[in-house]
Chains A and B, each alone.
Chain A
Amino acid sequence: MTQQQIQAIFDGTVITIEITAVSVVLGFILAMFVALGRLSKNRIIRGISWFYIWFFRGTPLLLQLFMVFYAVPIIYLDYTGQTLNMDPMVTSYITYTLNTTAYMAEIIRAAIESIPEGQMEAAKALGMTYGQAMRRIIIPQTYRRLVAPIGNELIILLKDTSLVSSIALSDLLRTTRTLANSSGSWLYYVYAAAIYLFMTTLLQLGTDQLEKRLGVYERR
């Protein structure tokens, strides 16, 4: 491989990591709100959260990418008469964040609901408000339970970023395909597989470790 090719694969890998990292962090924060919205006593807030999850889990990720990349500029043009160019990178950040938020919200909601009701009652009996009880008592107890399913989602997300090649982003997979096509060598696909595996292995080891550390209070 030439220096140039290695550089190209490296750049592609960075794009893959960037999209994954940004959308996981933003998605987790948003998902916390959507999950609390799903558990809200207010019917409208509950409805909005339900609708959000329903839409983003119920439509293909690729379709969502196209909607942000192609449909949004057209809608913008129709309403304002001005052109809008969506940057592929920004498109990816937005789409992957919105998409993963829906999945993570359901994970977080389920984790919150798995905490025994007595915990909220004890907190209230001590005079805590709902918000204090959630922040200090309920949500901290979900962390360990969140690690495995969120890790799962993180690995799926990392691999799903390969769809950005369809909006002309040179991520790891697209770079690999270009190199393979131009050289006629299948070896590039093996390199790509190895890099994906390397990243997912790190994630898996990391989440295993984190789960152990967060579960320290559950060991007798």
Chain B
Amino acid sequence: MNEDKLKEVQNGLEDSEKSMVRVEELRKQFGNLEVLKGIDLDVKKGEVVCIIGPSGSGKSTLLRCLNRLERLTSGKIYVENELTEDRVNGRTVSKIDSDKISRLNLDIGMVFQNFNLFPHLTVLENVMIAPQIVKKINKDDAYNTAIQVLERVGLADKKDEYPIRLSGGQQQRVAIARAIAMDPKIMLFDEPTSALDPELVGEVLETMKELAETGMTMIVVTHEIGFAREVADRVIFMDEGVICEEGGPQEVILNPKKERTQAFLNKIL
């Protein structure tokens, strides 16, 4: 093996150790209700983490805290080893440069349960708008990127349709394309298949699987245990605002150690 190759492999190894998102002692309260009760989580580059658990366990809230749709009550968040949130009792304790936060936040893409496509824009415009107005990319480049990502999700032929004329599965794939057009390093999926008719779930999971194979770092809140088993590097079972059990899919899904995990899996399998 020559030296360059060796370096490449070493870099690759270092890369896979690189933390993309790290959460320390994250707590989130809505009024008197504590939804997240101290979450610690570290997601490495290229890792696919699936979060499962009953409704109300705080899975979605955790995701929403990661990209600032919710502000945490206390705890710290690091994105690519840079501190982006440091709060105690609802107050920010470390002042962090807001430009830096916006920049790092752009590395996090999100896909929602209800797709949230922009209904007044065509498929193409949905994918082009953020690169154009947020990243100030010129129209031609934005167009080329949009076509590229739409081809990746198999929907380039629908580019001139309005979202309402697409099936739920197609809409969700456009939403994925819209997110990856911003070239994020981390993708968050908030129950991406929960609003879909059963026969449309497969195509979305397939798209997500392909994305995972490209090495994208992904955090997926899902009820699709089959997907978690097949694609996840790590499965996290959350219950009542805490991480109850975590590990490889074989351990957590096939041989859960905690009673609560077993009870949950028995109910949904």
Contact = CB atoms under 8 A, between A and B. Distances in A.
Q: Please classify how large the interface on chain A is, using the bins under 10, 10 to 19, 20 to 34, 35 or more.
A: 20 to 34
B6 interface: no
A118 to B, nearest CB: 4
Contact of B112 (A118, A136, A218, A219): A118
Interface residues of B, number: 30
A202 interface: no
A136 B134 CA distance: 12
Contact of B106 (A122, A123, A127, A141): A127
B164 A140 contact: no
Contacts of A217: 119-121, 162-164
B72 interface: no
Interface of A: 116, 118-119, 121-128, 132, 136-137, 140-141, 216-220
**Which 8 pairs between the two chains have the least Cβ-Cβ distance?**
A122-B116, A126-B130, A118-B116, A125-B110, A127-B134, A217-B162, A127-B106, A141-B120
25 contacts: A116-B114, A118-B112, A118-B116, A119-B118, A121-B69, A121-B112, A121-B116, A122-B112, A122-B116, A122-B117, A122-B118, A122-B175, A124-B69, A125-B112, A126-B129, A126-B130, A126-B178, A127-B130, A136-B129, A136-B133, A141-B118, A141-B120, A217-B120, A217-B162, A217-B163
Given A128-B133, A217-B164, 20 more contacts: A116-B116, A118-B114, A119-B116, A121-B116, A122-B110, A124-B68, A125-B69, A126-B109, A126-B130, A127-B106, A127-B135, A127-B182, A137-B118, A141-B120, A217-B121, A217-B163, A218-B164, A219-B164, A220-B164, A220-B165
